[in-house]
A and B are shown apart, each in its own frame.
Chain A
Amino acid sequence: MSNPADLPSNLKYTASHEWVKTEADGTISVGITQHAQELLGDMVFVESPEVGRKLKAKEECAVVESVKAAADVYAPVSGEVIAVNGDLDSSPENINSDPYGAWMFKMKPDSAADVAVLLDAAAYQAVVDSEAH
């Protein structure tokens, strides 16, 4: 099970287990956390959102499926999808082996402030810990 040291401190997180990385140009990359991939197990399928799709915060926008189960992925903030990671079509297992490298999609957020108020590593760890009890 993960401990606080496993959570990269340069990322933001959501209570629904997405991570968010702010790039130099203000766009964000989104993936699912180590904790989420561990719960789901071996990934076998990723359904990405359409590029150009406008998303509202907390909207279901992608699906990851492991051998065991399917899980929805939610938009961390409102904004537009500007890219999806095509590598995951053929190698969904990258989410297991490198959860913080295997981004699923990139967005241009409507407001940088929305990103700033997402959970930091410590606050997300508290969410994970509370689910374990």
Chain B
Amino acid sequence: MTLKTTPLNAAHRAMGAKMVDFGGWDMPVNYGSQIDEHHQVRNDSGMFDVCHMRVVDAKGEGVRAFLRYLLANNADKITMPGKALYSAMLRPNGGVIDDLIIYFMTEQWFRIVVNAGTADKDIAWMKEQAATHAPGLTITSRDDLAMVAVQGPNARAKVWEVLPQTRAATEGLVNFQAADCGEYFIARTGYTGEDGFEVMLPKEKVEDFWYALNKVGVKPIGLGARDTLRLEAGMNLYGQDMDETVGPLESGLAWTVDLKSERDFIGKAALLANPPSKKLVGLVLLDRGVLRGHQKVVSAQGEGEITSGTFSPTLEKSIALARVPDGVQIGDTVQVEIRDKLLNAKVVKYPFARNGKAVVSL
């Protein structure tokens, strides 16, 4: 099978990337040291090729009402132009089709950014639902757009160095807000727990943008560091921390699910009928070793499973997200089975690190 490539493929190779098959995409896992790249983002600025993610535009009268029904989070929460909202999109049985971000641009235009591996099924689902509930809407996959995430305490300043014409429109953006600057759509969002921008731009401009950022000192960051950064920031990864077989309430996403309002949405009835018996918690390994996905968690309340685990470069300890019985409490010590040994781990409230610093107390 031929791997799919982004418009930055040649640039990655020129910059010495080690390339891997990431869900059918030929992507950079690192450009040398994954740990150095991680610290580069926490302390300065780094750039990520996220062209494999998909931008979808939903346009037409009634787009807000449609999203209000389509998504578990409430589109009515975003009223300031450009404001973004993180949400799960559910099956009627409550399983998570994907997690995504919607941007409110106008009452006739919401922009949606979805995961790479789920993009085709997401769009098929959106179109199927729109056909029934909002036949006047157009749902367009923006395959003409590329996306680069620039993250870190110095990231915004670096973007302004390269794109000074966008500064006036983006300087006042609050966290989770975007500005449409013509060819550049710039959002103050990310997947690292650091400040920064995600920049959507025409595909044919992305390579120049990438090299221009590099010239002002922004280092390329691979998928390896992207994973340790997002895990430290306590952000879920679709396909690992949740998928179609588990609901959002057992995936640490209760804060994104609006069950209080009268609003009906796809999956709501299933969530109300099936209160969760498990929950997602953070773990910090107390013994020596490395937590990994699918390791078994043993607690006084029963067994659980690690959904994502890694070594945290910021904490210099191993950390994980784990789905455990509801009775497990923050501060408990549980055991994790690693190669037939039971190692001790402390249950913590995540995130583990944000804005350059550790935020868990041990």
> A residues bordering B, Cβ < 8 Å?
41-42, 44-45, 47, 63, 65, 67-68, 70, 89, 96
Q: Which residues of A contact B224 (CB under 8 A)?
A: 41, 67-68
Q: Which residues of B contact A65 (CB under 8 A)?
A: 289-290, 311
Q: Mark B118-146, 1 if CB is under 8 A from A, else 0.
A: 00000000000000000000000000000
Is there contact, CB below 8 Å, between A89 and B35? no
Contact of A89 among B18, B228, B288, B290 (CB under 8 A): B288
> At the interface, yes or no: B79 with Cβ under 8 Å from chain A?
no
Is there contact, CB below 8 Å, between A45 and B339? no
With A67-B224, A68-B34 given, name 12 new contacts (CB 8 A): A42-B33, A44-B290, A44-B318, A45-B318, A47-B339, A65-B290, A65-B311, A67-B310, A68-B224, A70-B290, A89-B288, A96-B33
Residue of A nearest to B285 (CB): A45
Given known contacts A67-B228, A67-B310, A67-B311, A45 and B33 CB-to-CB distance under 8 angstroms:
no
Is there contact, CB below 8 Å, between A47 and B289? yes
> B residues bordering A, Cβ < 8 Å?
18, 29-30, 33-35, 224, 228, 288-290, 292, 310-311, 313, 318, 339
Contact of B29 among A47, A63, A68, A96 (CB under 8 A): A68
Is there contact, CB below 8 Å, between B30 and A45? no
Q: Which residues of A contact B318 (CB under 8 A)?
A: 44-45
Across the A-B interface, give the 9 residue pairs with the lowest CB-CB distance, nearest first.
A44-B311, A65-B290, A42-B35, A67-B311, A45-B290, A42-B34, A67-B34, A41-B34, A42-B33
25 chain-A/chain-B pairs, Cβ below 8 angstroms: A41-B18, A41-B30, A41-B33, A41-B34, A41-B224, A42-B33, A42-B34, A44-B290, A44-B311, A45-B288, A45-B290, A45-B311, A45-B318, A47-B288, A47-B289, A63-B339, A65-B289, A65-B290, A65-B311, A67-B34, A67-B224, A67-B228, A67-B311, A68-B224, A70-B292
Kindly state the separation between the CA atoms of A41 and B37 in the bound complex, as whole angstroms. Answer: 12
Given known contacts A41-B30, A41-B224, A44-B311, A67 and B35 CB-to-CB distance under 8 angstroms:
yes
Kindly state the separation between the CA atoms of A58 and B182 in the bound complex, as whole angstroms. Answer: 62
Which has the most chain B C-beta neighbours within 10 Å: A45, A68, A96?
A68
Residue of B nearest to A44 (CB): B311
Residue of A nearest to B292 (CB): A70
